Amino acid sequence: MSTAISSVALRVRGYHLDGYGHVNNARYLEFMEEGRWAFFDDHPRLINQLHKAGRAFVVVNLNIDYRAAAVQNDDLQIMTGIVDVGERSAICHHRIVRQDGVLVAQADLTFVLLDMKANKAAPIEGDVREVFEGLVVDKDAFLA
């Protein structure tokens, strides 16, 4: 797996479950957010450049493909990486895999960079763009 892809482990707990004994669909949003925080931890240069430029990472769209159920005590691996950088938005890909290798969910999250002073979306440019582009991976890299 590419070093540009972050991975974090998470154990499913009882409070993650719905009435059917499966992880509630909304909990996957939290799992993916945990993956993004790990991504920023693993790539401090990115978060430093965002702060330096006065930019914030803002989610504008999320498309999740639920593939298999996860249940209490399952150990999940949440993988996170950048798969595309455009002029004004970029795409972060998440892949959640159960300990037996089964794909539980995957998602594409579109984000923009918010100009903190102007309070509006800003172009992805300069040093921030350079860092993002250096982290871009193909989705196939999540399978390695």
Q: Which residues are catalytic?
A: 18
For residues 111 and 58, the answer to whether their CB atoms sit within 8 Å is yes
| Angle (deg, nearest 10), helices 44-53 and 27-42 | 90
The CA distance from 55 to 88, in Å, is: 12
3-state SS, 39-94, equals: HHHHCHHHHHHHHHHCEEEEEEEEEEEECCCCECCCEEEEEEEEEEECCCCEEEEE
Nearest Cα neighbor of 59 from 117, 112, 133 is 112
CB atoms within 10 A of CB 93: 22
The CA distance from 139 to 135, in Å, is: 12
